[in-house]
């Protein structure tokens, strides 16, 4: 018995020692120690690894310690954190920032209600120890960096706010609340989100460090005096803390950092990469037909300009070469066949400048199939075909829907007006009571990913695709894409699951009717003759196919 007890004690000691040993391996890694020295020298920040039984960092959190296999992810996160901290004036972070960065695989709050969550925030402020707790997940996703950059600035601002004790300060919460803008007034949902976020001190502060959002909010402030006052107060606070926050600094801050710019993946030294595409008469005829009808320029050759995306992290793109001649030829033909049915009264009003035909189209690390760039002075749209396979029916069907999906985004922006069938609550009220889109709803947006959000909301009726639960504009676009291609899908056999759902889902049918009613009024407004191929396609899906 004594020997067995001794064995158990030794085994227990060994199990506790394994995580500690794993942490030591990371702490002693040459790459980590080099980064740690830079953080200490440049920012006055100590780099630490959280232990499962740490008396300070494990007080409020259930800690999962790092293992050696997390090292590369830790270095990746520290790289962009260092880049963000370098954007501050020299010495500012040392004076006003937290003193410790404490890394762990996961932090789960001990006060969380219900079952333990599998997701934990990227960064957490731990005021008692003047620390920022940093999550280094086992699986990295594009959102880690996107969210993390904003969280980092928020953590720094938490420290700044902690020192604002004067209730008469313009940045005090009481006075700040008197400057809130009406977030229902902006016409677009994107602008509404920006105004709503900027009504909070932390939200506005984070926007200052996101060049695209900062510029968009500055434009909103030109006609919103309260938004301008909030921006000026925030700038004034930072200048009072450090005179290096001068006008030149704010001007530079509105420029996207170099390491976040667009990346072209084409080998531009290979001038023969697209010789066959240039010489293909069918491809060139389809391109000319598209350009003549729509009045836009089809951009497809390597060396063409990058699509003007609002890049927050990184845009990686490439144009087509002869290596994908068949894919390009099939898609350009399908694109012409789908876009040629639109009446000139609509194409002229949309006034599209460019159609970007891309192979790789990765935004923030995620592949994009289509994008309607309606925020530009003259709109454009783009398609990304890296995963397109003409031999796969589902791939053909998906890209065919995507073509119309992006057109709907442009029409939504151009023709939807206040009080109209698409506008605000006039559309949202069609949903079941209690449903909230993921974007623009604090409760719904708390889910860590779109896929998780869709899974948690399968009970709701009224959606052509789960992606429509993301935001109202995508709700309409996914439904429109299905309506416009329902009888073409599955090699002409029809999109039977969608057609059956349209018969049984009353909310989905009501949304389809609302779409068609909107386009009926648009036909009258623009004097579009009927019948025409576009309206016949749209309305035909609601009539039993003979």
Q: Would 351 be classed as within a structural domain?
A: yes
| Single pTM value for the model | 0.60
Interval 268-297 mean pLDDT:
95
CA-CA distance, 106 to 119, in Å (whole number)? 8
Predicted confidence at residue 115, as pLDDT, reads 52
Predicted confidence at residue 111, as pLDDT, reads 77
Cross-strand partners of 362: 316, 367
Interval 497-516 mean pLDDT:
94
Predicted confidence at residue 304, as pLDDT, reads 94
pLDDT over 70 (residue 57): yes
Whether residue 453 sits in one domain with residue 360? no
Predicted confidence at residue 119, as pLDDT, reads 54
Interval 455-463 mean pLDDT:
83
Lowest mean pLDDT, pick from 29-38, 107-116, 271-280, 500-509: 107-116
Q: Would 149 be classed as within a structural domain?
A: no
Q: How confident is the model at residue 15 (pLDDT cuts 50, 70, 90)?
A: very low
Predicted confidence at residue 324, as pLDDT, reads 96
State the alpha helices, DSSP H only, in 358-465: 393-415, 425-428, 450-456
Last residue of a domain, one of 256, 280, 299: 256
Which structure tokens are listed for 201?
A: 């001190």
Whether residue 322 sits in one domain with residue 246? no
Interval 195-210 mean pLDDT:
92
Whether residue 276 sits in one domain with residue 370? yes
Predicted confidence at residue 216, as pLDDT, reads 84
β-strand pairing of 361-363 with 380-384: unpaired
Predicted confidence at residue 421, as pLDDT, reads 76
Lowest mean pLDDT, pick from 99-113, 114-128, 394-408: 114-128
Q: How confident is the model at residue 260 (pLDDT cuts 50, 70, 90)?
A: low
Predicted confidence at residue 12, as pLDDT, reads 38
Q: Would 148 be classed as within a structural domain?
A: no
pLDDT over 90 (residue 481): yes
Interval 483-498 mean pLDDT:
95
Q: Would 204 be classed as within a structural domain?
A: yes
Domain that holds residue 224: 173-256
Q: How confident is the model at residue 440 (pLDDT cuts 50, 70, 90)?
A: low
Whether residue 546 sits in one domain with residue 440? yes
Whether residue 185 sits in one domain with residue 122? no
Q: Would 151 be classed as within a structural domain?
A: no
Predicted confidence at residue 449, as pLDDT, reads 60
Lowest mean pLDDT, pick from 34-38, 163-167, 211-215, 485-489: 163-167
User: Do 83 and 130 meet the contact criterion of CB atoms below 8 Å apart?
Assistant: no
Predicted confidence at residue 1, as pLDDT, reads 38
Q: Would 165 be classed as within a structural domain?
A: no
Predicted confidence at residue 145, as pLDDT, reads 79
Quick: pLDDT tens for 28-52: 889 999 999 999 999 999 999 988 8
CA-CA distance, 231 to 197, in Å (whole number)? 13
CA-CA distance, 129 to 61, in Å (whole number)? 13
Whether residue 29 sits in one domain with residue 132? yes
Which structure tokens are listed for 241?
A: 């803390």
pLDDT over 50 (residue 445): no
CA-based nearest residue to 373, from 438, 314, 306 = 306
Cross-strand partners of 102: 48, 133
β-strand pairing of 100-104 with 131-135: parallel
pLDDT over 50 (residue 58): yes
pLDDT over 80 (residue 131): yes
Whether residue 398 sits in one domain with residue 279? yes
Predicted confidence at residue 208, as pLDDT, reads 93
Q: Would 87 be classed as within a structural domain?
A: yes
The number of distinct structural domains making up the chain is: 4
pLDDT over 90 (residue 447): no
Last residue of a domain, one of 404, 428, 453: 404
Whether residue 204 sits in one domain with residue 104? no
Whether residue 342 sits in one domain with residue 291? yes
Q: How confident is the model at residue 431 (pLDDT cuts 50, 70, 90)?
A: very high
Residue with the larger pLDDT of the pair 336 and 418: 336
Q: Would 411 be classed as within a structural domain?
A: no
Whether residue 183 sits in one domain with residue 252? yes
Phi/psi of residue 134, nearest 5 degrees: -115, 125
Residue with the larger pLDDT of the pair 505 and 22: 505
Which structure tokens are listed for 539?
A: 């309305």
CA-CA distance, 129 to 405, in Å (whole number)? 50
Which structure tokens are listed for 7?
A: 């064995």
Average pLDDT, the chain: 86
Interval 391-420 mean pLDDT:
91
Quick: pLDDT tens for 216-235: 899 899 999 999 999 999 99
User: Do 362 and 294 meet the contact criterion of CB atoms below 8 Å apart?
Assistant: no
pLDDT over 90 (residue 165): no
pLDDT over 70 (residue 10): no
Predicted confidence at residue 174, as pLDDT, reads 87
Whether residue 267 sits in one domain with residue 229? no
CA-based nearest residue to 326, from 398, 406, 396 = 396
Last residue of a domain, one of 377, 404, 431: 404
Whether residue 395 sits in one domain with residue 318? yes
């Amino acid at each position: 018995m004594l020997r067995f007890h001794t064995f158990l004690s030794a085994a227990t000691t060994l199990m506790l020692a394994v995580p500690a040993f794993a942490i030591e391996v990371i702490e002693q890694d040459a790459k980590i120690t080099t980064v740690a020295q830079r953080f200490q020298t440049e920012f006055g920040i100590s780099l630490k690894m959280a232990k499962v039984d740490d008396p300070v960092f494990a007080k409020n959190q259930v800690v999962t310690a790092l293992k050696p296999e997390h090292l590369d992810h830790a270095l990746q996160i520290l790289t962009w954190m260092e880049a963000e901290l370098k954007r501050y004036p020299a010495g500012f972070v040392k004076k006003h920032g937290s003193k410790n960065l404490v890394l762990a695989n996961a932090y789960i709050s001990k006060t969380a209600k219900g079952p333990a969550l599998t997701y934990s925030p990227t960064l957490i402020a731990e005021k008692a120890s003047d620390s920022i707790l940093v999550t280094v997940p086992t699986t990295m996703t594009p959102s880690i960096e996107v969210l993390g950059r904003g969280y980092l600035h928020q953590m720094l601002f938490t420290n700044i706010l902690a020192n604002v004790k004067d209730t008469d300060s313009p940045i005090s919460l009481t006075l700040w609340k008197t400057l809130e803008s009406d977030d229902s007034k902006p016409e677009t949902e994107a602008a509404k989100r920006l105004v709503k976020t900027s009504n909070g001190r932390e939200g506005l502060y984070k926007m200052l460090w996101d060049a695209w959002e900062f510029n968009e909010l500055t434009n909103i402030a030109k006609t919103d005096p309260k938004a301008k006052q909030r921006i000026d107060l925030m700038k004034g606070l930072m200048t009072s803390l450090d005179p290096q926050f001068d006008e030149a600094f704010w001007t530079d801050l509105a420029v996207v950092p170099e390491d976040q710019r667009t990346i072209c993946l084409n080998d531009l030294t290979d001038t023969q990469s697209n010789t066959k595409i240039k010489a293909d008469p069918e491809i060139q005829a389809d391109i000319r037909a598209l350009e003549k009808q729509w009045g836009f320029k089809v951009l497809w050759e390597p060396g063409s300009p990058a699509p003007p995306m609002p890049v927050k992290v990184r845009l990686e793109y490439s144009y087509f070469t002869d290596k994908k001649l068949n894919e390009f030829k099939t898609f350009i033909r399908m694109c012409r066949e789908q876009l040629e049915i639109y009446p000139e009264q609509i194409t002229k009003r949309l006034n599209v400048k460019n159609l970007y035909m891309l192979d790789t189209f990765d935004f923030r690390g995620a592949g994009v199939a289509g994008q309607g760039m309606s925020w530009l002075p003259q709109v454009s749209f783009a398609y990304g075909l890296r995963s397109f396979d003409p031999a796969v029916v589902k791939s053909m069907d998906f890209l065919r829907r995507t073509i119309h999906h992006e057109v709907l985004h442009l029409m939504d922006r151009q023709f939807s007006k206040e009080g109209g069938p698409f506008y605000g609550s006039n559309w949202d009220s069609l949903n079941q009571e209690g449903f909230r889109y993921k974007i623009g709803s604090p409760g719904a947006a708390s889910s860590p990913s779109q896929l998780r959000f869709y899974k948690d909301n399968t009970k709701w009726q009224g959606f052509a695709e789960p992606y429509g639960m993301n935001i109202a504009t995508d709700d309409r676009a996914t439904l429109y894409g299905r309506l416009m291609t329902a009888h073409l899908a599955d090699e002409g056999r029809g999109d039977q699951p969608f057609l059956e759902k349209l018969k049984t889902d009353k909310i989905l049918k009501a949304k389809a009717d609302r779409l068609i009613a909107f386009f009926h009024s648009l036909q009258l407004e623009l004097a579009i003759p009927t019948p025409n191929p576009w309206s016949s396609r749209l309305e035909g899906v609601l009539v039993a196919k003979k």
